[in-house]
Homo-oligomer: A and B are copies of this chain.
Amino acid sequence: MKRNLLALAIATLGTQAAAGTVTIDGADIVIKTKGGFEVKTSDGEYSFKLGGRVQLDYNSYDGVTNAKTGVISAADAGNTGSDLFFRRSRLSIKGHAGDWKYGLSYNLDKSGDDSIDSLKVGYTGFGKQLNITAGKQKEDFGLEDTGGSKWITAIERSMPSNAFDTGNNIGIKIHGASDLITYSLGSYKIDTDSNRDLETSVTGRFVIRPIYSKDAVLHLGAGFTQRDSDTAFDDFDTRVGVRGGDDGDATKLSPQFTSGDGDEMTVYNLEAAYSTGPVHLMAEYFDGEIEAPDTVAGSDDLNVDGYYFQAGWIVTGESRSYKKSSGSFDKVKPSGKNGAWEVFARYDSMDAESGTNIGLVGGEGAETATVGVNWYASSNVKVALNYVKAETDKKIQGEDDGDALVGRLQYTF
């Protein structure tokens, strides 16, 4: 036995000597590549990871989805539009040193956009149930929006998730999770006012998991965001089921004030999801209000609500993973050589109330139905095809329904 081990030792060293030796300067180190690159010290004190995502999308869309006034003329409205474009192309770097960590997600974009998707510094010294994170980050509002764009089921998020998305903003958040709950509460910069004084939001989310085991997750959550600004918002708008090419100019449902800017936005949401084996169900409801402009006498408040239902089934038997730290669904990892196949369906609905000083641009409401298939070719590659059917209650340039075919090739590393 000892002799064999000794022989092994000699053999292994022989190989190493031939190829050169690797040492480190500091603590012991662990290295990994799965297409990206990761290094950490064995004692857990330091880590560094570089990765990225590419989403190459094809959109073909007609009828009401390609009828946006000001982008498509009446003569062209409703005809088929098509485009091939990068929906997202990002590099990410993250790491930690002791109790402090950082994370960067950077958009490799055309000029004209702010290129920092997120950039944050966190203190983790109080344990997993109390993290403090400062910098540009998600406000954590809604199940679909809190999850990453890499692992949403459909190619685009639902109409209400899009309409009520708080985006990524600079602020400070406390957040934490146990097996039972996930919570976050933060305050974020929206803008500065005419005095150059900060305008801020307060956003919170609470999730409880009555069931949380290897076999099943039952997720129930609620959230709110309250946003104060003189000029930052006067509408709730959302694209009707398709992005509409590189410029993102698909027709929008955009209820808005006819004149003036709203003073305060408040949105509530409810979320529910159940996942067991290869099947998941999820639904969210959002209810938003923007207070009437001070400056417009008799103006009503702007009220919009929306919801969606989604069901998915991974035909090849894998399960969609769930991250309790953020209370959201995550990646699907294929178990076999031929990848994992998933089919899903989603129904979205948005509705706005009419009133004095309210302009229902795009109409009072819209509905979309989406069906799709995802092929997780490997842990790095996802190929998706979605079909979207959209209807608006009002004709836009003569169109009130349309459909879209959307394809995606995604590589993550």
Interface size on A, residues (CB 8 A): 103
Q: A111-133: which residues lie under 8 A (CB-CB) from chain B?
A: 111-116, 119, 121
Separation of A13 and B23 alpha carbons in the complex (Å): 11
- Among B31, B56, B170, B377, the residue within 8 A (CB) of A100 is B377
Collect the chain B residues with CB atoms within 8 Å of residue A195's CB: 66, 72, 76, 79-81
Separation of A121 and B110 alpha carbons in the complex (Å): 19
In the complex, per-residue mask of A369-413: 1 if CB is within 8 Å of any chain B CB, else 0: 000000001111100000000000000000000000000010101
A108 at the interface (CB under 8 A from B): yes
Considering only CB atoms, which chain B residue lies closest to A110 in the complex?
A: B114
Separation of A59 and B24 alpha carbons in the complex (Å): 41
Q: How far is the CB of A190 from chain B (nearest CB, A)?
A: 11
- Taking a contact as CB atoms under 8 Å apart, the answer to whether B196 and A82 are in contact is yes
- Taking a contact as CB atoms under 8 Å apart, the answer to whether B108 and A111 are in contact is no
Q: How far is the CB of A201 from chain B (nearest CB, A)?
A: 12
A27 at the interface (CB under 8 A from B): yes
Collect the chain B residues with CB atoms within 8 Å of residue A119's CB: 54, 86, 89, 108
Separation of A16 and B23 alpha carbons in the complex (Å): 6
Considering only CB atoms, which chain B residue lies closest to A71 in the complex?
A: B196
A320 at the interface (CB under 8 A from B): no
- Taking a contact as CB atoms under 8 Å apart, the answer to whether B378 and A98 are in contact is yes
- Taking a contact as CB atoms under 8 Å apart, the answer to whether B24 and A31 are in contact is yes
- Taking a contact as CB atoms under 8 Å apart, the answer to whether B380 and A413 are in contact is no
- Taking a contact as CB atoms under 8 Å apart, the answer to whether B33 and A39 are in contact is yes
Interface centre among A104, A249, A379 (most CB of B within 10 A): A104
Separation of A116 and B83 alpha carbons in the complex (Å): 18
Q: How far is the CB of A220 from chain B (nearest CB, A)?
A: 33
- Taking a contact as CB atoms under 8 Å apart, the answer to whether A54 and B170 are in contact is no
In the complex, per-residue mask of A259-291: 1 if CB is within 8 Å of any chain B CB, else 0: 000000000000000000000000000000000
Collect the chain B residues with CB atoms within 8 Å of residue A109's CB: 115
Collect the chain B residues with CB atoms within 8 Å of residue A80's CB: 195, 197
Considering only CB atoms, which chain B residue lies closest to A169 in the complex?
A: B84
| Given known contacts A12-B13, A13-B9, A196-B72, A106 and B104 CB-to-CB distance under 8 angstroms | no
- Taking a contact as CB atoms under 8 Å apart, the answer to whether B22 and A24 are in contact is yes
| Given known contacts A28-B20, A32-B24, A198 and B83 CB-to-CB distance under 8 angstroms | yes
- Taking a contact as CB atoms under 8 Å apart, the answer to whether A23 and B29 are in contact is yes
- Taking a contact as CB atoms under 8 Å apart, the answer to whether A12 and B20 are in contact is no
Separation of A114 and B170 alpha carbons in the complex (Å): 22
Collect the chain B residues with CB atoms within 8 Å of residue A31's CB: 22-25, 29, 31, 39
- 22 A-B pairs with C-beta separation under 8 A: A9-B9, A9-B10, A12-B17, A12-B21, A19-B25, A20-B24, A25-B31, A25-B38, A29-B32, A33-B41, A35-B48, A35-B102, A50-B50, A52-B93, A56-B135, A71-B196, A81-B197, A82-B192, A86-B170, A108-B119, A109-B115, A111-B113
Beyond A33-B47, A192-B246, 9 additional pairs, beta carbon < 8 A: A5-B14, A22-B22, A33-B40, A34-B46, A50-B50, A76-B195, A98-B380, A106-B108, A134-B409
